[in-house]
Structure 1
Amino acid sequence: MSIEDEIQAKGLTAPRVTPADIEANIVSQHFFTAGDGFAGALSTSPEFAEAPEAERVISPPEQLDLLTFCVLILRNGFTVTGESACASPENFDPEIGRKIARENAVNKIWPLMGYELRNRLHAQQ
């Protein structure tokens, strides 16, 4: 039984942040690896743009492709990030990396929304 199921089964109905509230607050999600970030940063570097074509082939360290980032943009425009690092290159799976990175980003939203709810409840007292 999930925690959400247990809360509902016990009839705990006071105001709270729910998984649905979290998901409703996410307006977009974006995934990339550190290797993608390296390539993007390099492509906008003035030094790279001015270098002769033969010198523009720079490969990122392969370990950067094992680090996955998730950026969640929330309804109010705030961004939250999550990461997933793979220790063994043989086990790297992009889909699993994205799932873990997203879960880690979502876990950062809970305290933010809990704080916001607590402020609203306090203002009603």
Structure 2
Amino acid sequence: MKMLLLMMTVILLISTLIMILSSILSKKTILNKEKTTPFECGFDPKNLHRNTFSIQFFLIAIIFLIFDVEITLLLPLVLTMTTSNLKIWFMLSTYFILILILGLLYEWKFGALDWLK
């Protein structure tokens, strides 16, 4: 037990020393204009005020996330086709796809998919 504690302490000390050395020797401490500008996203990390955010973009992102999870749940149906009863498998897959289609029609009906209103 003492040997294990000693080994853990030595490993912790070595890793801490390596992190301190790397932070001292790294050149990332020098900030210039190129390194402090936002990269590709357009959001300035230095500003703390709230910018306007498109709620339509947020809705599309949430819808994409929901359907992405549903498709992930749909993929194992193909793998279980050969091991399960074909009639039960067909009923379950039809029911699941029907739920997906009804969700899509619901969001289409209430205008969540319309980008321009």
For normalisation by structure 2, the TM-score amounts to: 0.26
Which is strand-richer, 1 or 2?
A: 1
Q: Tell me which structure has the larger Cα radius of gyration.
A: 2
Higher helix share: 2
**TM-score of the superposition, structure 1-length normalised?**
0.25
